[in-house]
């Protein structure tokens, strides 16, 4: 019984870890996409202002 509980906690830990890693990558990707989507107009504005 104790081994099963330990195994389950271990599995939960890895799941949470991979979820956080995936979330981090997703946030990174979204931020980069948004950054590149909104960056050019701002640059043009600076150039032609």
- 3-state DSSP of the chain: CHHHHHHHHHHHHHHHHHHHHHHHHHHHHHHHHHHHHHHHHHHHHHHHC
What's residue 28's pLDDT?
87
What's residue 46's pLDDT?
64
Both tokens assigned to 11: 């599995």
Tally of domains in the chain: 1
What's residue 43's pLDDT?
63
Domain residues for the domain of 25 are: 1-49
Distance separating alpha carbons of residues 23 and 25, to the nearest angstrom: 5
The pLDDT tens digits of the residues spanning 1-49 come to: 788 889 998 988 888 888 888 888 999 888 888 877 776 666 666 666 5
What's the predicted TM-score (pTM) here?
0.45
What's residue 42's pLDDT?
62
């Amino acid at each position: 019984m104790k081994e099963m509980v330990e195994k389950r906690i271990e599995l939960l830990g890895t799941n949470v870890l991979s979820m956080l890693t995936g979330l981090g990558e997703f946030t990174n990707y979204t931020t980069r996409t948004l950054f590149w989507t909104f960056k050019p107009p701002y640059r043009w504005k600076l150039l032609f202002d």
